Chain A
Amino acid sequence: QKEVEQDPGPLSVPEGAIVSLNCTYSNSAFQYFMWYRQYSRKGPELLMYTYSSGNKEDGRFTAQVDKSSKYISLFIRDSQPSDSATYLCAMTQGAQKLVFGQGTRLTINP
């Protein structure tokens, strides 16, 4: 079993919909949680970075962490076709290697 599990999708939703992306993890030592967006043939781009349990909002994006359930989520409001990409969750024990999920391929249909 992988340390970080993420549904690979693909996930296809209409423009304007709310998107929910999720990851579960097994290592309770993980303290820092990130979401990256990766467009085709590009490197991952850091979207959100959180430390504590709870919600963090940045524009249309909300990251949620529940350490007790070992579960993290990314919500995208008012989704746009430009949001179509692969979304990767990642986590670390601190200043060390990132452990990634498999990535969820998301398509927003105009």
Chain B
Amino acid sequence: GAGVSQSPRYKVAKRGQDVALRCDPISGHVSLFWYQQALGQGPEFLTYFQNEAQLDKSGLPSDRFFAERPEGSVSTLKIQRTQQEDSAVYLCASSSRTQRNEQFFGPGTRLTVL
């Protein structure tokens, strides 16, 4: 595919469940970002990878949030013991080595925690 893809598009979890959200970046893009978007707000940064290295995880709200990109392509954002305040849209973005400031976003995963 030509763009960033994310799966699942929608996820409903019971409070306390673990969830895993997947991001497939644009082929060849070295940088990958995760953002969290609450209803009616702009996206907020969670974490950033360059290839397989996680260079910035300052936006992860708690140690229940964990992200990985083991082979430098697909990334997974994992949330353990979900809470209601984790309900949001989780967006993934990628950028290329030559146009590092232009981030292209996927459609997002809408997580609802009951």
Counting chain B CB atoms within 10 Å of each CB, which of A46, A88, A94, A98 scores highest? A98
- Distance between B89 CB and nearest chain A CB, rounded to angstroms: 9
Residues of B within 8 A of A (CB): 4, 31, 33, 35, 40-45, 48, 56, 59, 91, 93, 95, 100-108, 110
Q: Are B107 and A42 in contact, CB atoms less than 8 angstroms apart?
A: yes
A103 touches B41 (CB 8 A): yes
A46 x B56 contact (CB < 8 A): no
Chain A: interface residue total (CB-CB under 8 A): 26
Total CB contacts across the A-B interface at under 8 A:
61
From B42, B48, B104, B108, contact of A97 by CB (8 A): B48
- Least CB separation from B100: chain A residue: A95
Question: Is there a chain B Cβ closer than 8 Å to A44's Cβ?
Answer: yes
**Known contacts A96-B48, A96-B56, A97-B56: does B43 contact A44 (CB below 8 Å)?**
yes
Q: Mark A1-41, 1 if CB is under 8 A from B, else 0.
A: 00010101000000000000000000000001010100001
List 8 tightest A-B contacts by C-beta distance, closest first: A100-B42, A43-B105, A97-B45, A95-B100, A32-B101, A43-B107, A44-B105, A103-B42
Of the residues B40, B43, B91, B101, contact of A95 by C-beta under 8 Å: B101
Nearest-Cβ distance from residue B87 to partner chain A, whole angstroms: 15
- Residues in chain A within 8 A of chain B (CB atoms): 4, 6, 8, 32, 34, 36, 41-46, 49, 88, 90, 92, 94-103
What are 19 sample pairs from A and B whose C-beta atoms fall under 8 A apart? A4-B42, A6-B42, A8-B40, A32-B101, A34-B102, A41-B110, A42-B107, A42-B108, A43-B106, A46-B102, A95-B95, A95-B101, A97-B45, A97-B56, A98-B33, A98-B35, A98-B103, A102-B40, A103-B40
- Select from chain A the residue with minimum beta-carbon distance to B92: A43
Inter-chain pairs besides A44-B91, A98-B45, 5 sampled, C-beta below 8 Å: A42-B108, A43-B4, A95-B100, A97-B33, A100-B44
- Bound Cα distance from A46 to B106, whole angstroms: 11
Q: Which residues of B contact A94 (CB under 8 A)?
A: 100-101
Known: A43-B106, A44-B91, A45-B105. A102 touches B42 (CB 8 A): yes
Q: Is the CB of B45 within 8 A of A99?
A: yes
